[in-house]
Amino acid sequence: MEIILTENVEGLGTIGDVVKVKPGYGRNYLVPRGLAVEANSRNVKELDHRKRQLERKLQKVTQAAELVKQRIESVTCVLSHRAGEEGKLFGSVTSMELESKLAEAGVEIDRKKIQLAEPIKALGEYEVPVKLDAGVIATLKVSVVALEE
């Protein structure tokens, strides 16, 4: 019996896979629990249609993420902080600060997407990865300078 999985089933496959199982397993376990549907021509066509829709949606999301990536990479965030003699900051640069600087530059992004491993605590130039939708990763240039008093 051939079935189309509607949920991930351990040991069988993932959503959308067409797999061959014994008739009793499919009819008595998978189909009643909503884990699969029978692989007749109607269901196979519906699956193909759904896959095409998801591909189009993924393509649109990827294009939007690429546009945001270009905008982020064109911006250089310059942050002024009080620093000690050896270039160490009194405090640190956090993802919240980077989020607000990006917002000032016209790029709205959630601070959770800014992949700052640990707060920046010294003067200098940094490249911070920003994880966008569809697996797109942009690189934000950050320049931390001493505050003139």
Quote the pLDDT of residue 148.
79
Residue spans in the chain of domains classed CATH 3.40.5.10: 2-60
Residue spans in the chain of domains classed CATH 3.10.430.100: 67-146
Helices of type H across 4-141: 23-25, 41-73, 95-104
CATH number of 67-146: 3.10.430.100
**Could you read off the pLDDT tens digit of each residue along the chain, which spans 149 residues?**
999 998 888 999 888 899 999 999 999 999 999 999 999 999 999 999 999 998 999 899 999 999 999 999 999 999 999 999 899 999 999 999 999 999 999 999 999 999 999 999 999 999 999 999 888 999 999 999 998 76
Q: Is 26 exposed, middle or buried (0-12, 13-18, 19+ CB in 10 A)?
A: buried
pTM, 2 dp:
0.72
Quote the pLDDT of residue 135.
86
CA angle in degrees (0–180, nearest 5) for 63-8-115: 40
Which residues have a Cβ under 8 Å from the Cβ of 3 and sit 6 or more positions away? 18, 19, 20, 21, 26, 30, 31, 36, 37, 38, 39
Which of 98, 100, 88 has the alpha carbon at shortest distance from 138?
A: 98
Spatial distance between the Cα atoms of 22 and 130, rounded to a whole number of angstroms: 47
> 2-60 adopts what CATH topology?
Ribosomal Protein L9; domain 1 (3.40.5)
Quote the pLDDT of residue 70.
95
Quote the pLDDT of residue 15.
87
